[in-house]
């Protein structure tokens, strides 16, 4: 469970997208990642409190529904589902583009489709197969970052062959914050997006043998790991390599490995990024299917998605998520600058809307539990309620910043369109009563975590 929590956070954004943040904020990008990491840790702590108190399939969808009503639950659940089915598409296309570097004669859509089919098949087998694949994907990512941190530290201390040591690059090219404090704060917005995925562990916890223990352990360890892997590795990048070097923006980690004189840098980084992409694709398939299955439990999604396989897997829900993936793969091939670009921009702020809903739900449910069942609060949010209010304010500030920053404005407004369409859909759903839905299985047995949560 710890590796799933960590693997959910470490995506291709760290290895590639962090270069954009470094170019916009300079060495002070370390501060941007630290602030975004703090926000993420606070959100995860709030979510962990609710999950430990009441483990539930659907996690924060259920909590939003209980805390703020059916409309909020419906909106949060479908926003999160939409977010991850678009992630499925984006990661499948990204993985195909990496494979095309080694297989240039194979069309992009064939490679992307192959990756999507492979991981769809894996998820259709059982929740255990998802966990096993994610364990190995996460292990590779963690080992890669640990090695990067070690060799980077050796270089900075002057131990690495050919190095002179020191961290002069932090201030030698215009100062620590050459673009100003405003740029540092603006860079927090994309950084928060890079951390998205840590919450997947609360959904996976519903299918573990001891969900309360699993989630508590994972959340207690994530603080240290977020700081070490994200903030630590970005620090190594800006300390070893000049922040304004052209290759730092394109592939910052490859640029550092090149400075260290490590051979076959491009191949190594492409392999690591491919692993990160496959991990995100695997997690997105799992998460979108479980959220869709949870939506059926309250009549918020068609009943047909309640059917489980003999191993307890919601196969129809998995396939539903991949359908958009297949369409998007075709769109990336036939209309990369119109349809596919629209899909990519339309989900940019959706996860942040969900994070804000998590924070609002925690405040309401915490007050309710303190009055009705204080013993259920086995893991508590720090300094409640003040730190919870501060987290809500920070999330609201990040979302509002997206609306005004030129680089994120289109993502904000297209995500707002997505939110509006889901709210309209709720009006149609409200006209019919929510049926009592029970999970159907292909046999009398189902996977306990899914069938009986």
In sequence order, what are the residues at sequence separation of 6 or more whose Cβ sits closer than 8 angstroms to the Cβ of residue 153? 236
| pLDDT tens-place string over residues 89-100 | 888 888 888 999
**pLDDT-based confidence at 438, cuts 50/70/90?**
low
- Confidence at residue 342, expressed as pLDDT on a 0 to 100 scale: 76
136-193: per-residue pLDDT in tens? Answer: 888 898 899 999 999 999 999 999 998 888 999 999 999 999 999 989 988 998 888 8
Residue 307 has φ and ψ, to the nearest 5°, of -70, 130
pLDDT tens-digit series, residues 372-430: 999 999 889 999 999 999 999 999 999 999 888 888 888 899 999 999 999 999 998 76
Q: In this predicted model, what pLDDT tens digit does every residue of 419-436 receive, in sequence order?
A: 999 999 999 876 666 555
129 alpha carbon, distance to own chain's centre: 20
CA atoms within 13 A on the CB side of 93: 22
| pLDDT above 90: residue 54 | no
- Say which DSSP state 230 is in: I
Question: Per the structure block, which two tokens stand in for 201?
Answer: 């562990």
Q: Is 104 exposed, middle or buried (0-12, 13-18, 19+ CB in 10 A)?
A: exposed
Query: Quick one: 337 exposed, middle or buried, by C-beta within 10 A (0-12, 13-18, 19+)?
Result: exposed
Distances in whole angstroms, Cα of residue 368 to Cα of each of 46, 67, 91, 376: 14, 9, 40, 11
Token reading at 245? 């070097």
54 phi/psi in degrees, rounded to 5: -150, 80
* CA 215 vs CA 201, 362, 400: distances in Å: 7, 16, 31
Per-residue pLDDT reduced to its tens digit, 307-358: 888 888 899 999 998 888 888 788 877 777 677 677 777 777 888 899 999 9
pLDDT on residue 101:
87
Helix or strand run (H / E) with residue 73: helix 70-102
Task: With a cut of 70, say whether residue 285 has pLDDT above it.
Answer: yes
Dihedral pair phi/psi, residue 105, rounded to 5°: -90, -5
Cα–Cα distance measured from residue 236 to residue 255, given in angstroms and rounded to the nearest whole number? 11
pLDDT(453) > 50: no
Q: What is the mean pLDDT of the chain?
A: 86
Q: At what angle do helices 18-25 and 252-259 cross, to 10 degrees?
A: 80
Work out the average pLDDT over 14-37.
91
CB 45 within 8 A of CB 215: no
Residue 245 DSSP one-character state = S
219-245 tens-digit pLDDT: 766 666 777 888 999 999 999 999 999
Q: Tell me the pLDDT band of 446, cut-offs 50, 70 and 90.
A: very low
Helix, strand or coil for residue 161?
Answer: coil
- pLDDT by residue (tens digit) across 191-210? 888 888 778 777 766 666 67
Separation of CA 364 from chain center:
25
Backbone φ and ψ of 308, nearest 5°: -110, 155
The H or E element that residue 308 is part of is strand 307-308
Domains delineated in the chain: 2-451 (1.20.1740.10)
Question: Binning pLDDT at 50, 70 and 90, where does residue 443 land?
Answer: very low
State residue 445's pLDDT score: 38
Dihedral, 358, 364, 365, 369 alpha carbons, nearest 10: 160
Percent of the chain with pLDDT over 70: 89
pLDDT tens digits along 75-115 = 999 999 999 898 888 888 888 889 998 999 999 889 999 99
Write out the two tokens for 50. 């609710």
Distance CA(157)–CA(152), nearest Å, equals 9
The CA-atom distances, in angstroms, between 330 and each of 280, 286, 339 are 20, 22, 10
Instruction: Give the model's confidence band at 452: pLDDT under 50 very low, under 70 low, under 90 confident, else very high.
Output: very low
* pLDDT of the residue at 207: 63
Angle between helices 211-226 and 2-9 (to 10 degrees): 40
CA distance 87 to 4: 17
């Amino acid at each position: 469970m710890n590796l799933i929590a960590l693997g959910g956070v470490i995506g291709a954004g760290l290895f590639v997208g962090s270069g954009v943040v470094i170019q916009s904020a300079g060495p002070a990008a370390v501060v941007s990642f630290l602030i975004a990491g703090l926000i993420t840790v606070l959100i995860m702590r709030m979510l962990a409190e609710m999950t430990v108190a009441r483990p539930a399939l659907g996690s924060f969808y259920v909590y939003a529904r209980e805390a703020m009503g059916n409309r909020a639950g419906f909106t949060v659940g479908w926003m999160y589902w939409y977010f991850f089915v678009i992630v499925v598409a984006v990661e499948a296309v990204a993985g195909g583009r990496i494979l095309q570097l080694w297989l240039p004669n194979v069309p992009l859509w064939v490679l992307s489709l192959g990756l999507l089919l492979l991981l769809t098949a894996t998820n259709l087998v059982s929740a255990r197969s998802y966990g096993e694949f994610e364990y190995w994907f996460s292990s590779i990512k963690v080992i890669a970052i640990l090695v990067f941190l070690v060799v980077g530290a050796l270089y900075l201390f002057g131990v690495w062959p050919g190095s002179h040591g020191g961290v002069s690059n932090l201030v030698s090219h215009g100062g620590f914050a050459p673009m100003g404090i405003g740029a540092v704060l603006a860079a927090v917005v994309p950084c928060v997006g890079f951390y998205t995925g840590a919450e997947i562990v609360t959904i996976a916890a519903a299918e573990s043998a001891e969900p309360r223990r699993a989630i508590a352990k994972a959340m207690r360890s994530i603080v240290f790991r977020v700081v070490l892997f994200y903030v630590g590795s970005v620090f190594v990048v800006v300390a070893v390599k000049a922040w304004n070097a052209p290759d730092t923006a394109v592939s910052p980690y490859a640029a550092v490995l090149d400075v260290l004189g490590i051979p076959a840098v491009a191949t190594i980084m492409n392999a690591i990024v491919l692993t990160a992409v496959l991990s995100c694709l695997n997690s997105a398939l799992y998460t979108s299917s479980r959220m869709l299955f949870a939506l059926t439990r309250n009549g918020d999604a068609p009943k047909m998605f309640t059917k489980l396989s003999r191993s307890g897997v919601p196969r129809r829900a998995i396939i539903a998520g991949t359908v958009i993936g297949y369409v998007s793969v075709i769109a990336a091939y036939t209309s990369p600058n119109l349809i596919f670009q629209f899909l990519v921009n339309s989900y940019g702020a959706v996860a942040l809307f969900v994070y804000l809903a998590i924070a609002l739900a925690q405040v309401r449910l915490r007050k309710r539990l303190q009055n009705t069942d204080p013993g259920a609060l086995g893991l508590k949010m720090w300094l409640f309620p003040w730190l919870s209010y501060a987290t809500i304010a920070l999330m609201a500030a990040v979302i509002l910043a997206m609306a005004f920053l030129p680089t994120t404005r289109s993502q904000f407004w297209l995500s707002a369109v997505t939110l509006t369409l889901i709210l309209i859909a709720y009006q149609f759903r409200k006209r019919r009563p929510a049926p009592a839905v029970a999970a159907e299985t292909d046999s009398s047995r189902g996977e306990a975590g899914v069938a009986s949560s």
